[in-house]
Structure 1
Amino acid sequence: MTKEEVEEEPLSPMARLFQSPGIENCIITMIGFKAKINPDIILDDLKHNVSKHPRFCSKLSDDGERWMKTKVNVEDHVFVPDIDLQEINKDGDGFVDDYVSRLTLSPLDKSKPLWDIHILNVKTSDAEAVGVMRCHHSLADGMSLMSLLVACTRKTSNLESFPTIPAIKRREQMMSHRFGNKGWYSRSINAVYYAVRLIWNTIVDLLLLWATSLFFKDTETPISEGIGSGNNARRFYHRTVSLDDIKLIKNAMKMTINDVLLGVTQDALSRYLNQRYGDKNGEGVTTTSNLNNLPGKIRIRAGVAVNLRQDIGIQPLEDMLAKDSKCRWGNYDSLVFVPFSISLETDPLVPLLKAKSIMDRKKHSLVAPMHYSIIEFIINTFGTKVFNRTCSNTTTILSNIVGPVEEVSLHGNCITYIALTGYGHSQALMIHFISYANKMIITIAVDPAVIPDPHNICDEMEKSLKAMKDTLSGKSD
């Protein structure tokens, strides 16, 4: 051990999981800017601030079991590729897509802290430059990284002010919310019913989780067939839609934003699969046929990420890093597996109602925190080699992260979009949502050998969202 390296602390169980053999899960955050990025400013800022964050100035010990604090040479973590702008400007989006895709084949160097930043001063369709931050999933989950990003930014409207951090608390328990104004007898009966349902739903979900880890697989479909492994190259595609439209649907249908996003995704994947099944030529060219080409009884499930912290949403970074914090830094989320209803609906609101129904039931279950506890127990008791196959037996992963509620700037450079996603999972499809100001950014991560046209999935999402909004607007007229 050198003077620059100090043994710090053991890896958490979830960090050990993400460091286990064969698992190289990484998070990629792509940030679009309104102006070119000055690399010298980024380097100077990192030199002054990276040491304040323990995970970004720590590397793995030789046995992979502990974090070792080390001196960080930021020049080894920041990359500014030489770019022929005259050639690249013809297709800036393609250059960025290809560059980020190549990163998925280049593992992070475990002899130093597990993160890097790539500065691409390339004009794309929605930005003048793109910054790409990559870090190993063992460092943190998406919510932790979003809180870190917000701590580094300032309001665009006032460059001296930190962004607004809304206080988002977990909803009150259903029991007090629904039964608080009823009489003692009614409250008692309803409390018993509530508890019985909670226990029953949890038992059923745990049995399904166990079955999924052993043998219960999703139907092989065009978005999963032929999948190789999480080590295949991934490609990323993002699309920006109106957050106000989503909120309009949420309020009209008396549901949550997560319910709306799940309903939109369910409907979009149904239509996309219908196109793929309708491709009679077998040439990978999707059709726009209105015929129902879907086979019966398709089982598709999504692993939906659930934040287990007491306070959800963006948190002040100093609070997350504080000892024994209730909104702690790191990986403190779980997955609940949600079945999709794959069908073509004539009423655009039906997918929303189906999504709300299944999510209401999942919220009335303790499977998310119990799944997390089970993972910790297995890792602490048996190690990571016996870990389950729940992800490989399901079709996709979804997550929704609350981003800045207003436009923000990084060193005076206004951010146009934030697209967060990941790679290293076994699924051929991952879908991430991030809200930013009045936008919702949808990011699709795909195995291009399985899904060669991710933009079509985004197209279907936009169509579904518009159809839902138009239907509700017509009802209110």
Structure 2
Amino acid sequence: MSTGTRRTMGGADAMWLHADRPNHLMVIDGIMWTEQPVDWDRFRRTIQERLVDVYPVFHERPVEPTRPWDLPAWEDDPSFSLTHHLHRARLRRPGGDKQLRDFLQKRVSRPLDRSRPLWEAWLVDGYGEGSVLFTRLHHAMADGMALAEVMLTLTDPSPGGHDAPREAGAPEGRRGILVPAAAGLVRGAMRLPTVPVTAWKAVGVTRKLLLDVLPGSLFSGEPGVDKQLTWSDPHPLPDIKAIGRATGTTVNDVLIAALSGALTRYLETFEESVDHLTTMVPVNIRPPDQPLPRELGNKFALVMLHLPTAPMAVGERLAEVHRRMERIKHSPEAFITTAVAEGIGHLHTPLDKPLVDFFAGKAIGVTTNVVGPREPRYLAGVEIAGILGWVPGSGGQTLGVSIFSYADTVRIGFKVDAATVPRPERLVAFFEAELDALRLATLEDA
């Protein structure tokens, strides 16, 4: 039933709405956990007042156009109820990481109901002595960086923080959210409309986007429906910063180098080796000093990062990652991919799906690296112990990576295709081994 209140989607929003596949749902999955139980009633009020009452897309549903040349729209859901979207559950005993992973894996492959607003949230009790907030938000609502900021508006800087309404984009909700891999890329993308792009750089990016071929490996198998999630223990962020200072690189460089080395070790266990694996890296192109719009939407780009996975010393790999990141920062790639995504969204099905698959086929998945709040945050009065979030892959992609820094620690999480990437816990172990090797190499060179 139409309510008569509609607003047209942007082209990028429409692209993500149409990109859903059974084996790749365009849903951003996030977890936020505590070591003490979260009060259900206070939590419900927080969701209502800080999400539903502030951002219209949390009470709007998607509507396809009646004319093929029009874009889809959002309209108010006439039967909206928080009970349709907010759920409560309890883990099986003993309520550890295994039980939590089992709970998540049963739900991450379920499509959202398109007759309602495209999100759901679960408050899961029985995770040790605490609780887990598990959120599923469709990419058509907004990009992952914006939704990370939105979800942090649910939190407070102290346990006495009250769940009063906040304006969209208020500074308290935006504190500390950044994609460090894209810091320089954002500045470059924002300059591009006023600074002429040299022809050779534009041609080079176009060749990369059109002609790049992903090397065949275990990660390039045909993905299935089921996904697996796993994540690391927290690592002290000062240790990562120390490696960066000693080597003249960034925190992001260090973490991406450790990821590259972990993928190299993982492939070696299957007697495979490739010179590089490509991952997509989201670039936030919203002005960092402006609040999020109430309508949210997608305002980001994707760049292709070639992870160096050939056999090499850890220091050499770190230097190579740094060189590749610097090269991307000084290219127009972010600006060009933004225009491509917006254009694909205006094509509509069936033309947009093959194009999405074409570009997705050039990478094994998406890697996000988010710097969250530096100080502890509180959900409904309870301190948050950790945060992770995964943006969706598409096409033949099989590996999503979430790196999230919070309260002076950093964690890595993997979302893998269960049919093609076995034993993902090895990826965590290899990532930690690579960090240890980088620390040791740094000490030896000091």
**TM tier, smaller:** 0.7 to 0.9
Partners in 2 of 1:450 and 1:322 — Cα distance?
A: 39
Partners in 1 of 2:104 and 2:98 — Cα distance?
A: 10
My pick for the range that moved more, 154-163 or 425-434, is 154-163
SS in 2 for 1:45: helix
Counterpart for residue 111 of structure 2: 107
Partners in 1 of 2:44 and 2:381 — Cα distance?
A: 15
Counterpart for residue 166 of structure 2: none
Aligned match of 1:360 in 321, 326, 332?
326
Cα pair 2:29 2:108 within 8 Å, conserved: no
Question: Is residue 345 of structure 2 the alignment partner of residue 379 of structure 1?
Answer: yes
Quickly say closer, same or farther: Cα 1:254–1:174, change in 2 above 3 A.
farther
- The equivalences for 1:383-402 within 5 A come to 384-388=352-356, 389-402=358-371
1:200 shift after superposition: 2.5
Q: Structure 1: any 5+ residue segments left out of the alignment?
A: 176-193, 278-293, 324-328
Counterpart for residue 142 of structure 2: 140
Counterpart for residue 65 of structure 1: 72
Partners in 1 of 2:59 and 2:204 — Cα distance?
A: 43
Which residue type is aligned with residue 130 of structure 2? E
Counterpart for residue 289 of structure 1: none
Per-residue CA deviations over 1:401-429 (Å, capped at 9, x if unaligned) read: 22112100011111000010144533111
Counterpart for residue 191 of structure 2: none
Aligned match of 2:384 in 401, 408, 415?
415
- The equivalences for 1:323-362 within 5 A come to 329-345=296-312, 347-362=313-328
SS in 2 for 1:321: coil
1:400 shift after superposition: 1.0
1:442 shift after superposition: 0.8
Quickly say closer, same or farther: Cα 1:164–1:155, change in 2 above 3 A.
farther
Runs of 4+ in 1 over 6 A off after TM superposition: 172-175
> How many pairs were matched up?
414
Per-residue CA deviations over 1:4-34 (Å, capped at 9, x if unaligned) read: x342311111111111154431011111112
Partners in 2 of 1:394 and 1:21 — Cα distance?
A: 16
Q: Structure 2: any 5+ residue segments left out of the alignment?
A: 66-70, 164-171, 189-194
Cα pair 1:399 1:433 within 8 Å, conserved: yes
Partners in 2 of 1:379 and 1:89 — Cα distance?
A: 45
1:242 shift after superposition: 2.1
SS in 1 for 2:152: helix
- The equivalences for 1:428-439 within 5 A come to 428-439=398-409
Cα pair 2:11 2:344 within 8 Å, conserved: no
Aligned match of 1:120 in 124, 129, 141?
124
Counterpart for residue 228 of structure 2: 235
Question: Is residue 165 of structure 2 the alignment partner of residue 165 of structure 1?
Answer: no
1:79 shift after superposition: 1.3
Which residue type is aligned with residue 235 of structure 1? Q
1:365 shift after superposition: 0.5
Cα pair 1:236 1:446 within 8 Å, conserved: yes
SS in 1 for 2:111: coil
Question: Is residue 375 of structure 2 the alignment partner of residue 406 of structure 1?
Answer: yes
Partners in 1 of 2:110 and 2:419 — Cα distance?
A: 19
Which residue type is aligned with residue 228 of structure 1? P
Partners in 2 of 1:331 and 1:79 — Cα distance?
A: 26
Quickly say closer, same or farther: Cα 1:70–1:456, change in 2 above 3 A.
same
1:276 shift after superposition: 2.0
Per-residue CA deviations over 1:33-85 (Å, capped at 9, x if unaligned) read: 1211222222233334412211111111254810002353101111113x4x6
Partners in 2 of 1:359 and 1:201 — Cα distance?
A: 15
Partners in 2 of 1:102 and 1:330 — Cα distance?
A: 28
- The equivalences for 1:146-161 within 5 A come to 146-156=148-158, 159=161
Question: Is residue 289 of structure 2 the alignment partner of residue 320 of structure 1?
Answer: no
Larger Rg: 1
Partners in 2 of 1:157 and 1:201 — Cα distance?
A: 50
Counterpart for residue 219 of structure 2: 223
Partners in 2 of 1:307 and 1:174 — Cα distance?
A: 10
Counterpart for residue 179 of structure 1: none
1:322 shift after superposition: 5.8
CA RMSD of aligned residues (A): 2.9
Quickly say closer, same or farther: Cα 1:207–1:365, change in 2 above 3 A.
same
Partners in 2 of 1:94 and 1:343 — Cα distance?
A: 33
Cα pair 1:406 1:436 within 8 Å, conserved: yes
Quickly say closer, same or farther: Cα 1:199–1:15, change in 2 above 3 A.
same
Q: TM-score, normalised by structure 2?
A: 0.84
Quickly say closer, same or farther: Cα 1:133–1:164, change in 2 above 3 A.
closer
Cα pair 1:16 1:384 within 8 Å, conserved: no
Quickly say closer, same or farther: Cα 1:173–1:209, change in 2 above 3 A.
closer
Counterpart for residue 188 of structure 1: none
Which residue type is aligned with residue 320 of structure 1? L
Per-residue CA deviations over 1:285-338 (Å, capped at 9, x if unaligned) read: xxxxxxxxx54x544211122222232xxx77xx21268xxxxx3221221112
Partners in 1 of 2:175 and 2:48 — Cα distance?
A: 26
Partners in 2 of 1:368 and 1:406 — Cα distance?
A: 31
